[in-house]
Structure 1
Amino acid sequence: MAEPIPPITLPPAENPQQEGEWLKSVLCQWLDHEFIPEAINQQIAERATQVFVRQRMEGENDLGALVIAIVTEMQAFDFSKSFFSEFAVANAVSDLLLDSLGIDRCCGQ
């Protein structure tokens, strides 16, 4: 039987606001480069960052739990003017965080 992929735990947040500023910037860049730059991308990045920062301030360090929180809370966001969905945004946040930690996201490694 295949072994489950172990959870990824982020280091404890020392400065959640600074993490949020970084995330908002790189997420907005990712959104703009993935399809086309749109005004809504800034709003998407802002909302996802708010969820992320609040979760980090509450002590959440598990990447999977952070992704679920973003998916859940972004369901209320109006994506009708965007190419993206809550799932694409949460997955992008996960990928950006893994990249920042130097964790290869290919094949569960």
Structure 2
Amino acid sequence: MSQPIPPIVLPPVENPEKERSWLKKSLHQWLDNEFIPELVNETIANRAAQIFIRHRLEGENDLGSLVIAIVTEMQSFDFQKSFYSEFAIANAVSDIILQSLGIDTCCGNNQNN
């Protein structure tokens, strides 16, 4: 029987500006590498990083909740000049965070195999 995936809770933010800057840079690189570099990618990365850090500063450390916050708040962003959507951005942020924690995002949890 399948087991539910346990929540991933990040440690409290220690250096918000450093974390925001790192996430913005990492997401911007991911956006540029995934398709083609676009000017709007920097704006998207900046907005997503701001949302992420604001929620972290408000005490939210559950990665799932942070991803939902990004989806919700990025819905007001105009993605017409981009290949991406709020869901792609939130998923990319999740992957970037998971990879930084050493968690493989490719093939799921293979502990039972």
TM-score by length of 1: 0.96
Residue in 2 that maps onto 1:54: 54
Could you say what the CA RMSD is over the residues aligned between the two structures, in angstroms? 1.0
Residue in 2 that maps onto 1:77: 77
SS at 1:102's partner residue?
coil
Q: Point out where structure 1 has 5 or more consecutive residues left out of the alignment.
A: none
Residue in 1 that maps onto 2:96: 96
Residue in 2 that maps onto 1:66: 66
What residue identity is the alignment partner of 2:89?
V
Distance in 2 between residues matched to 1:87 and 1:15, nearest whole Å: 27
Residue in 2 that maps onto 1:107: 108
Q: Point out where structure 2 has 5 or more consecutive residues left out of the alignment.
A: none
Question: Is the helix fraction higher in 1 or 2?
Answer: 1
What residue identity is the alignment partner of 1:94?
S
TM-score by length of 2: 0.93
SS at 2:95's partner residue?
helix
User: What percent of counterpart residues are identical?
Assistant: 69
